[in-house]
Chain A
Amino acid sequence: METFDAIKGRRSVRSYKDEKVPVEKLEKIMDAAIWSPSGSNAQAWKFIVVQNDDDIKDIKTFSPGIFGKPAAIIIVCRDLKRAYEVCGELGRDTLSLMDISMASENIMLAAYNLGIGSCAVRSFGISAVKRLYDLPDHIVPELLITLGYPEETPQPPKRREIGEVVHWHRRRVKERFL
């Protein structure tokens, strides 16, 4: 699959078939995650791959943003300790968040490439998930990514016009930002 096709074809899937995703595919997806860019190469991230039905159900209980029954969930976490050790406050407060965002996009594009749907979910109980997994204070779950074979694929949502958000000429930028 062409990269550009994956970028434009990926949708946020909220309805999944009752079919498990093979472990080999999940491993491939996670390999894509760890090859994403990372500020100062800190790689201050942790990923928890959840496949067990009971565990998925427990996470779903505290996740108003999860719809349907995903076959797997990836809990994307920041490792604040590592981020601070490598790149100080900038790493802890800003770069680590950017890094897991880029890794998450890799996850979703890799999944799409393998015919697997995904949805990034921020609407979940962060403190509840921390408690469920007994995570230490410096490991912060920031995003859930649901995975599964799509039952339905939504239509692409409206996009802002490219001319409205992309600017090419320095002199015209200021007036267009007003």
Chain B
Amino acid sequence: MAKLKNLEKLKEMVYTCLRCGSCRDLWDPKENVFGTCPIREHTGGFDVYFMRGKLMLARKALEGVIEPNPDMARYIYLCSTCGNCEAHCRISQTSPGKVDREKTKLDQIRIIEAFRADLVDLGLALPRHKAFADSIAKNHNPYGEPHEARLAWMPQGFEIPKGDPEMIYFVGCTSAYRRTELARATVDVLGKAGVAFRIMHPDEWCCGSPLLRTGQRGLAEEVARHNVDAIRRSGIGTVVTSCAGCYRTLKQDYRELFGDLGFEVKHISEVVNDLIEEGRLKLRRPLAIRATYHDPCHLGRHCDYYEPPRALIAKLEGVEFVEMPRTRSGAWCCGSGGGVKSAFGDLATEIATDRLKEAKEVGAEYLLSCCPFCKHNFLDAKRAMGSDLEIYDLIELVSQAT
């Protein structure tokens, strides 16, 4: 039997699944959950497409009943690691909708990532994932873009406020190369508030999130080590990011890899809330929109980060805020995480259409999020559907309002 050394370490967890099926299609209004697994809803829906079946597959692979094979890898990679199953699993949750990773007996995302790491070791990584890993090794970003162009988004003539840097702005690859409007909005807002910050170019490399989520752990640790060393060398105690994926990775994965980091990690929405409250950032331009907010999985369920974006939206004058039914820990994933967007692009777009429909159903004109990856996928869905919904990252709205 092929060795599944990472999965073997989590064997007890794998066997703790009762196969009750909460990961299939749970409806529980108390937890804002109406359906659990977006992959299941947009595929043939066999058990192996959602967590119960994946854990059964893991169990049988551990028992040697079935050998790891390319089709098995495909099923294990057909998971956006959104964590909706984990947050509402009757075993893993330590309170409704909240998973305490220190205490839980069943951490589905950890199991999937371990399984993927074994599949990578066995040469069963998906070609698209190997391709972005190669790009990260060569260019320090997954998009095949030259590292030298990482700051090409910077507005001409923009000057970072003078003074000792209060924080590092960790831009992230998607904001640096694909959704550059987020990076521009972020520096615009920080600039308007007079925040002296630093961008770690050329020392900022991919945070490693795409690698960690797809089981490519060796290179992930390498880039993580590089970034941590660079941040520590700077002597700056706060890192702010406008990307949910970078946030989860810097805040949780880096700590798991290296222990105490010696710096704190903040999301831009938290920072902006503080800047407004401290009177450093003025809201000068009222908006006149009806908006809803999509909790990115990496911020919400992965980091229990639900309130700061909503608090920030509440501060924006002229924004009529409406919640979608599936919100906070029950938020329906945009479909792009966990390597799904790169390996199964059409599926990711199809899943994102669910969210756009949901936003329209509550009468929203704007669908806001706090993640460039979510925005990217929502824009693909908007094009596919021909929707008139406006897709914005929250920091862009703040930039317009200030």
Q: Do A and B come from one complex?
A: no
Q: Which residues of A contact B (CB under 8 A)?
A: none
Q: Which residues of B contact A (CB under 8 A)?
A: none
